[in-house]
Amino acid sequence: MSTRLRIVGGTVHDPANGIDGEVRDICIEDGRIRASLPDGAPTLDARGMIVMPGGVDIHSHLASSSCNHARRLLPEEHSADPAPAPPLLDGVVPARSGTGGTVPTTFTSGYRYAGLGYTTVFDAAVAPVMARHSHAELEDTPCLDAGFFALMGNDEYLLRQIAAGERERARDYAAWLLGSTGAYAIKIVNPGGVEAWKSGQRNLNGLDEALATHGVTPRAILETLTDAANQLGLPHPVHIHCNNLGLPGNVAVTLASMQALAGRRAHFTHVQFHSYGGPGWSSGAVPIIEYVNAHAELSIDVGQVMFGPATTITADGPVEYLLHKSSGRKWVNIDIELETGCGIVPLLYKDKAAVSALQWAIGLELFLLSRDPWRVVLSTDHPNGGSFLSYPALIQLLMDRSVREEKLRQVNPKLLAGSALVDGLAREYTLNEIAIITRAGPARLLGLRQKGHLGAGADADVTVYAKDADIAQMFATPRYVIKGGTLVVEEGQLRRAAAGRRLYVRPGYDDALLPDLRRYFDAYSTVSFENYPVSEIPDDPLPLSP
Ligand SMILES: [Zn+2]
């Protein structure tokens, strides 16, 4: 029996289909958007309300062994934010309790994302050898279609191939790694820098200082993996966390990385953390966003800092060591065999702290000086710059100049000299631009043709907001959320927990790679080649056609 629903009379913002605030019906049948439905189909009254596609988060940390280490590091968050099982009606997935805080448990992550109107989320950093763990967590994360990016760029086999000039084999290796881990995209974190730190070399200076262990430069890593992603025709290009995250003056290496890849499709992530002038602390947002504005092949997500508690979780181990030393907060460092690392430090971003205020201002500068919302999309690098629960407050800062300026008067101004934000940025995002940076844009950058829009054939992921003069309140409490055709939020309450789908790719590669990989595993890895690393993913290829 087909399940049908007609959402009647809402004001629709569907920028991918050129619809900016038109009153029209949205028809749903069997989990998809349809052009029409027969008379008599069940209806949902959305008159006077705002209708958008479900939110798409291009960069989050919600389902990985790193997140689990963070949960173990933060027991105080569990008691401070218990999350009882919600009173679900007839969900396919039974209701489960959990805990919240900056790194919620799996079920609570699914419920809270859905409660905000988000229905698709990617974990941005999974060590390939730990991919099995991420699949297990995603299996327990309801209401979200989700996938993850596989960490590359500091892994031993790849570095060996680059050192040997074997870039085609490096590409085949990337394809094999994506397919055998069930990942969606290639993620680079601090190219070469993590391996340098692990092997006792000081921080790499720029793109052309080679790893002492391999003779490979960050530039070669960036080029190899960017070309690999593009040659493999992956739906999402390489996803890059640049060198020198969080360090004053890092704008130079960020710009150099963008220039190194000029003309090639690439996504640079949490760019706020890579837009610091130097040698002291200052904003470097303007040259970065001007470069992005002028280069259509590039896209970024912002990585906004929001004031309040956060937990930094990254494969960039050396950054976390410095953060631990400078903040005095507790710290975990994890080495991941032959592949990467992971560091975790909890943080509190205070508006009276000069560096936090600068980071907050830089993120807003990137947003407000962006000329193309399709290529400059929303993220807080959850939970690094703040929880995803702060997205509504961030949307309000972008849409309401008076709220933004009031907050600007409250923050520590010590490092804000020369900030474009202080000079006054009048721009206010429109609802359509918000629909782009939170849905249509991320979906397009991820190559998800069935997500981020409400045209016929799209997945029936829909969020309905009741209009409210308080923009943050409006985005924090959608009236209705529909996930794959299932009404999961009704009247602002989570009512059903639909199961999510896994999003992954299986690119092709030359089988000649395999004997070499097997020799490598036999010689160096404690994991057997046959068991590397996951198999428990549904054999359901990614739907890439509309
Ligand atoms: Zn991240």
* pLDDT confidence of residue 333: 96
Name the residue type at position 260.
A
Q: How far apart are CA 19 and CA 429, in angstroms?
A: 16
Q: What is the pLDDT of residue 89?
A: 85
Instruction: Report the separation in Å between the CA atom of 260 and the middle of ligand 1, taken as the mean of its atom positions.
Output: 22
**Per-residue confidence (pLDDT) for residue 533, from 0 to 100:** 76
Report how far ligand 1's centroid is from the alpha carbon of 466 (Å).
31
The amino acid sitting at 330 is K
Q: How far is the CA of 439 from the centre of ligand 1 (A)?
A: 18
What is the whole-number distance in angstroms between the Cα of residue 12 and the centre of ligand 1?
Answer: 31
SS3 200: coil
Residue 382 CA to ligand 1 centre (angstroms): 7
Task: Find the 60 Cα to ligand 1 centroid distance in Å.
Answer: 6
Is 385 within 8 Å of 303 (Cβ atoms)?
A: yes
CA of 457 to the centre of ligand 1 (A): 31
Calculate how far, in angstroms, residue 38's C-alpha sits from the geometric centre of ligand 1.
Answer: 45
Which residues is 120 bridged to in the sheet? 56, 145
3-state secondary structure of 156: helix
Determine the residue type at 3. T
- The type of residue at 526 is T
pLDDT along the chain (546 residues), means of 10: 88 98 98 96 97 98 97 96 91 86 98 98 96 93 96 97 98 96 96 95 92 97 98 97 97 98 98 95 97 98 98 95 95 94 96 98 98 98 98 98 97 94 93 98 97 98 97 98 96 91 93 96 92 68 40
Would you state the pLDDT for residue 424? 84
Cβ atoms < 10 Å from Cβ of 264: 16
The CA 313 to ligand 1 mean position distance, Å, reads: 7
Say how far apart CA 114 and CA 306 lie, in whole Å.
21
What's the pLDDT score for residue 541? 47
Residue appearing with tokens 């980071």: 359
Give me ligand 1 centre to Cα 493, in Å: 29
Q: What is the distance in A from the centroid of ligand 1 to the CA of 59?
A: 6
pLDDT for the residue numbered 164: 98
Return the DSSP state at 492: T
pLDDT at 94: 80
Q: Tokens 């390939």 — which residue?
A: 128
State which amino acid sits at residue 18: G
